[in-house]
Structure 1
């Protein structure tokens, strides 16, 4: 009779109701108090399970980021994805309002604790890269383009922070942070890529053979920058840009980081690319026509740009992996929602175990990528190999999970309103920027080069 009674309770085909005596939820509750504390658990979703494992300050960060993404980004996501590409330097009123709202919420200036920035002091017991990973995942889960519009700001500010130059931090970072917290739509941008060099700006061997495109020529009291940068996220709307240029007559080893302000004579955004994904954020081509940059706008000193560039990438590649996890989670959420709402032959799709198997695989791949990111980002000193592994592993996972979601949705996946095709387009871009995944794989080997050479030269290993 018990079996018959419990079989009538809500359950999925092929599964028992959670209150059935043979369900683990019910069975574990019959154990004694001590073993129950070891093995019994509540039926909550995976996001809640993982959030509860975080320290309290990071739990709060993750919950606040999800709430902000749902309230501020969700209503704009599909609309801004369909909007025509903006003219260089133009921000729609909607996006201006979003940037202002994000700044007032403290999500643009939280790289430093209050009062220098907006981050809660308690969070800085934990690495800044882990904090950024938690935040960008929640934003990208809702919209990749809006996430990039807001998060490229961190990338642009990072060289100034990493320089350790207190004067530069005081003059360039803190005033913008305060303006952002007041609701002013001000952003940073990071400018390394040039028309003739994508990966050459991120790989030492390629840089050794590359002829720099943006060159700084000495002038009285400063430098004159000439050349072009391309694919710069938010470069046309940023107020402050960290621009990397080689010194005249020298190679990439002379790369120097210059702070360029919007409105400097000779600097102008030339055009914005027509993009496949992350369309709410621009990818801009920038022209530097004899732009004068004073000496006090150099960050970290002459010829320190290459070190600042590589250090910035080591920090940023894990958050790129995290935003890819957000895409994977977004695709998984869409698939679960579709499977529970859509009926086939009078049954919800979720009742079919073939569908359950695919959903479980999507959930497993997403959770595995997230675990890699969280474990890696918990280190205070990001290693290049670890950062690159996070980047290519998570971004490849995101594309694979998004593809699985489209397979599950079938022809419904092609409908913009469902969001699956948008997630796929957004996720595909992550395999290319912040160093292509091929370059990131080579970066892993570069980190292990000395150990590999030592092993190769040891006769005992032959």
Structure 2
């Protein structure tokens, strides 16, 4: 096992770190208050190649390995988990096309990302979250016209209101269920495809999250990704690939919270001495540091397994679950260490605590992750 990194990996990590420190961290609080990301950030991110990190070289991307991508997402998570989520959504939405799309679909999709475009992964619905088989959006096939007509509503879609291209899951069977779940490419501006309500969220507020409405949306047969009924497998494989990246953002979020808490503990004095000298504070800091490091290693292991092409469903679930739980615990303890100052909106600690909660919820709740892990261990 090699725990070292290449010179190229370290250079990319430092590049993202500098970008975060200069362009994201200083305005993270303002974007949180505005419930939106500054559009110029996406332009700068595109110029740096942060919007097409998983696009293979043959399709115009950098062809980065998963460990390198995780390193970059960790740095983005340190600056703002909301911005990191929007950028990581491009990888989430692209994975199904790379997994099951044909060459024409891959080139079309990747060209959009290479040009700085944003993508969205539209699976969740008002009545279908963890239960992907509950998707009720319908796709009716017209074999003569070689088209599909989509009708339904999607909910809590990251980049929903700002994406240029969408990967939408719909059911081709009247009675629903996972056997009819199918993936489709829906370009922005397709007639009948509308952006609904924008969510006013507790955390990751700079990340655009919207409802999507499909009202008789007609798309060509050529926009179907994979076969009819293959959507559930595509979605599950995609989530396996994406979960370590959620873990990476969680690790960055937690690391940033620890760094701020430690700096505060060294300066804040009580009873005539810095609170960093108190054993209770030291114990909290030690536990926070250990769990962050363990989470980081779980993330890297899952990413390395993905790159090796071996089955990593259990490891992906472990990485996401442990890292998300760690982010929630560490950010909560950071606020505790900083007391009333940490609870104030003038300090980034409370924002990180709000941001951390979603890590335990999206891309499969941590309860679902535990079911996945238990199933792989026991059966």
Task: Decide whether aligned partners of structure 1 residues 285 and 253 sit closer, same or farther in structure 2, where only a CA change above 3 A counts.
Answer: same
**Counterpart in the other structure of 2:290:** 364
- Find 1:386's aligned residue among 315, 318, 329: 315
Give the corresponding residue for 2:218: 292
Q: Answer whether contact 2:159 2:209 (CA < 8 A) is retained.
A: yes
Give deviations 1:315-357, integer Å, cap 9, x for gaps.
Answer: 0111111111111101101101211232234433333343233
Aligned equivalent of 2:362: 433
Q: What's the secondary structure of 1:199's corresponding residue?
A: coil
CA apart distance, 1:261: 1.0
1:417 is aligned to: 346
What is the 5 A alignment of 1:53-452? Answer: 53-83=4-34, 85=35, 95-114=38-57, 116-119=59-62, 124=64, 128-163=65-100, 165-173=102-110, 175-180=111-116, 186-201=117-132, 207=133, 210=134, 212-219=135-142, 220-251=145-176, 252-379=178-305, 380=308, 381-448=310-377, 452=379
The answer (yes or no) to whether the contact 1:110–1:117 under 8 Å persists in 2 is no
Residues 49-75 of structure 1: CA deviation (Å, up to 9, x unaligned): xx9822333222222221221122112
Q: Structure 1 runs of 4+ off > 6 angstroms?
A: none
- RMSD of aligned Cα (Å): 1.9
With normalisation by structure 2, the TM-score equals 0.93
1:286-334 Cα offsets, whole Å, 9 max, x none, are: 1000100111111123222111101100001111111111111011011
Tell me, which stretches of 5 or more residues in structure 2 are unaligned?
none
Q: Identify if the C-alpha distance between structure 1 residues 197 and 400 changes in structure 2 by more than 3 Å, giving closer, same or farther.
A: same
Structure 1 contact 325–370 (Cα < 8 Å) conserved: yes
Whole-Å Cα distance in 2 between the matches of residues 284 and 442 of structure 1? 28
Aligned residue pair count: 372
CA contact (8 A) 2:59 2:107 kept: no
Q: Is the 8 A contact 1:111 1:117 kept in 2?
A: no
Does the aligned pair in 1 maintain the 2:101–2:225 contact within 8 Å?
no
What is the CA-CA distance between 1:172 and the residue it aligns to? 2.0
Q: 1:113, CA displacement in angstroms?
A: 4.5
TM-score normalised per structure 1: 0.77
- Relative to structure 1, is the Cα distance of residues 103 and 436 closer, same or farther in structure 2, using a 3 angstrom cutoff? same
What is the distance in 1 between the residues matched to 2:320 and 2:114?
31
Q: Deviations over 1:89-143 (max 9, x none)?
A: xxxxx62111011000111112135463342x6xx5xxx3322211111101111
Q: CA deviation at 1:448?
A: 4.3
Does the residue aligned with 1:359 lie in a helix, a strand or coil? Answer: helix
Q: Deviations over 1:399-421 (max 9, x none)?
A: 11111111111111111222111
Greater mean alpha carbon deviation, residues 353-362 or residues 407-416: 353-362
Hey, what's the Cα distance between the residues in 2 that align with 1:101 and 1:294? 34
